[in-house]
Amino acid sequence: MTVVTSIFCFGCDSLHGDRRLREASSKLNYKIMPEVLEEIADVIGVDKMRELLTARSGTEIYIPSKITDPNHWLIDLLGATAAHALVDYYRVGSATGTFVGKEILLPKFDWARRGRYVEKMWLEQEARGLTSARIARMLGVHRRTVCRWRRKKRIEDAANRPAEPKAIAE
């Protein structure tokens, strides 16, 4: 069973501790954050945690005891500083006096796919002109979902556009 010790607030993009759990549970823009995500966010920051979850959510990852390859997937994904911080945090000493890595199960990224985060990310990627398939892969949704979002946006944009003045017949 996962122990919940923090919540993630989409309103201010930050973590809040136990004192706010009860209050936050009644607000729609708060989602419960599992303990492993809280640890990762504490070590590498919320933005880097999001990048890691976007790439590997719902899978088990292995954090090695040491990264010697400059092209290691963690460095490519998070950058050297964040990757080494994760390695240092999760490295475990063994009985022989050496260090070993650790396997971590990353929870499914569902909590962050909803709400303002997805809307913000979708609009940013749309503005960059990315394809529906690429946006879908980045956000972990189906390509048809992105097509629906685009169609809805076109309809909303058309509805918000001021009507063109009609020519007056003489």
Predicted confidence band of residue 123 (pLDDT cuts 50, 70, 90):
confident
Q: Which domain holds residue 15?
A: 4-111
Check whether residue 91 and residue 135 sit in a common domain. Answer: no
Check whether residue 150 and residue 132 sit in a common domain. Answer: yes
Q: How far apart are CA 170 and CA 168, in angstroms?
A: 6
Residue 9 C-alpha from the chain's centroid: 13
Q: Enumerate the H helices of 16-114 as residue ranges.
A: 21-24, 35-44, 46-56, 73-78, 80-90, 110-113
Most confident of 64-78, 88-102, 143-157: 64-78
Terminal Cα-to-Cα distance of the chain (whole angstroms): 77
In a domain, 105, yes or no: yes
In a domain, 168, yes or no: no
pLDDT in tens, 32-57: 567 888 889 889 988 898 889 888 88
Check whether residue 95 and residue 130 sit in a common domain. Answer: no
Torsion sign across C-alpha atoms 36, 37, 39, 44: positive
25 pLDDT exceeds 50?
no
Check residues 33 and 127 and name the one with the higher pLDDT. 127
In a domain, 165, yes or no: no
Say whether pTM exceeds 0.85.
no
Check whether residue 90 and residue 14 sit in a common domain. Answer: yes
In a domain, 104, yes or no: yes
Check whether residue 89 and residue 50 sit in a common domain. Answer: yes
In a domain, 87, yes or no: yes
Check residues 14 and 64 and name the one with the higher pLDDT. 64
Over residues 24-37, the mean pLDDT reads: 54
- How many structural domains is the chain composed of? 2
